[in-house]
Amino acid sequence: MRIEKDTLGEVKLPDNVYYGAQTKRAMENFPISGMKLPRRFIRAQGIIKLAAARANGGLGLIEKKLLKAIEQAAQEVTDGRHDSHFVVDVYQAGAGTSQNMNANEVIANRAIEILKGEKGDYKIIHPNDHINMAQSTNDTIPASIYISAFEAVRDDLLPVLKTLENTLFHKSREFDSIVKAGRTHLQDAVPIRLGQEFSGYAEAIKNDIHRISRASESLLYLPIGGNAVGTGINAKPGFRNYIIREIIKITGIKFKKCKNLFEGIQNVNPALELSASLRGVSITLTKIANDIRLLSSGPRTGFAEIKLPAVQPGSSIMPGKVNPVMAEMLNMVCFQVIGNDTAIAYATQASQLELNVMMPLIAYNLLSSVDILTNGVDVFIHKCLKGIEPDPEKCMVFADNTLAMATALNPLIGYAAAAEISKEAYRTGKSVKQIVIEKSMLDRTEASRILDPLKLTGK
């Protein structure tokens, strides 16, 4: 064991941990969920601390020997070598002070170790005076949210959504010749091709990709350098420009200075904007998943227009049952993302005066949404979507028998007369084509031409 001191007194710590007194107090104060902020967030914290050290070193505020050790320790945090020492619960001190101090202490103690000192000997390197120099929780935590969320969206979510768009597009081409009944209000509608239906899904995902991309651009404006309230107190002139340049070098991403530091620290609206776009794609995905479930319903008592890959038994009591489990999983993911967005919205509006104190919650839910969407969509693509097969015969039966085929008669006999044909077809169980032929309204050749389901789809 070792003993460290903070402003409240002494704290006992295991000698093998890199975190320090303030982190230990947070562990004891907040045994809430067991959930921690994820790897990407810790990576972003490491990036900021590395960039800050280089900025302060370049401005002559940290001597070279100490700077080298701090750089190595911060790089190790960035690379994920000390994630087990980031132990603060998501539900913690407001704004993320404990999370910021967790990073400061881990990097300080690791740097001390690199310099052959004993952990906790902050006369060598101090968590606040060296690692947190010219920074505050209030500007480093939102900056960590933005860096981590931007990288997660760019590297994980957008690629898998693009794969989804492409897969849906290829399915639309594969299914383009298959005619089926359209359905509006879950009732018979005019014919449509299965490929057309899937092309709508592909375009919807394409539009959501654009929305998410636009929303993620707001994350590029970092409030770093604003320090506690936006004034940049205790930061040497030039620090703000310097640290932004270093963050750009480390990440390869063209981050920018927040246009107004006071607004940037008061609010976390870029996170809200991105979360709203994730809610949007979740609604799109829910619609697609629900359609897949409907179109594959059956196999004998439902639509059964498409067949899904069988990936596991569907019932613990009904033998042979196979359920649309991948679509159901995707629905659950989407509902969780929508719930996360609600939490983020409430947390974002909780900003008061110079600060939003709900940032750990925002960070966790935002990164969780990106993560589960990425994984959920990826699994849905490979274990469901790619293996979907159509039933062309079943589709054509529905296309021939939809009562909305009478719509094609409107130009010939008018809406009211066409409605009567539709009603009679419903009463008798016959098709619209059969009725018009029996009534000698059209001969068989002309009826087949006018009521050709494929032509009615615009092809």
Strands (E), 146-255: 179-184, 187-193, 221-222
Average pLDDT estimate for 354-358: 97
Q: In angstroms, how far is CA 194 from the centroid of its own chain? A: 28
**How many of the other CB atoms lie within 10 Å of CB of 146?**
28
315 is catalytic: yes
Alpha-carbon distance 160 to 114, whole Å? 40
41 or 94: which leads in pLDDT:
41
Retrieve residue 109's tokens: 């103690």
DSSP 8-class letter at 37? -
Residue 456 has pLDDT above 90, yes or no: yes
Q: Distance between CA atoms of 361 and 159, rounded to whole angstroms?
A: 26
pLDDT exceeds cutoff 90 at 149: yes
Pairing of strands 2-6, 389-390: unpaired
Parallel/antiparallel/unpaired status of strands 179-184 and 187-193:
antiparallel
Q: Scan for tokens 């205790």, then name that residue.
A: 234
What integer pLDDT is reported at residue 459 of this predicted model?
73
Identity of the amino acid at 426: Y
Please give the average per-residue pLDDT across 61-77, as a whole number. 98
The model's pTM is 0.96
Average pLDDT over residues 54-68: 98
Catalytic residue among 315, 351, 369, 422: 315
* pLDDT for the residue 48: 98
CATH numbers and ranges of domains, the chain: 2-133 (1.10.275.10), 139-222+256-392 (1.20.200.10), 402-456 (1.10.40.30)
Taking the C-alpha atoms of residue 360 and residue 365, their distance in angstroms, rounded to an integer, is: 9
The whole-number average pLDDT for the span 149-170 is: 98
Dig out the tokens for 45 from the structure: 């914290």
Kindly report the average pLDDT of the chain as a whole number. Answer: 97
Percent of the chain with pLDDT strictly greater than 90: 99
Dihedral through CA 153, CA 157, CA 161, CA 162, nearest 10?
A: 60
Q: Are 251 and 286 in contact (CB under 8 A)?
A: no
How many helices and strands in the chain, by DSSP H and E? 18, 8
Tally the residues of the chain.
459
pLDDT at residue 94, as a whole number:
87
Give per-residue pLDDT as tens, 79-119. Answer: 999 999 999 999 998 899 999 999 999 999 999 999 999 99
Return the SS3 of 352: strand
Rounded Cα distance between 224 and 144, Å, is 9
Q: Give mean pLDDT, residues 30-46.
A: 98
144 and 136 in contact (C-beta within 8 Å)? Answer: no
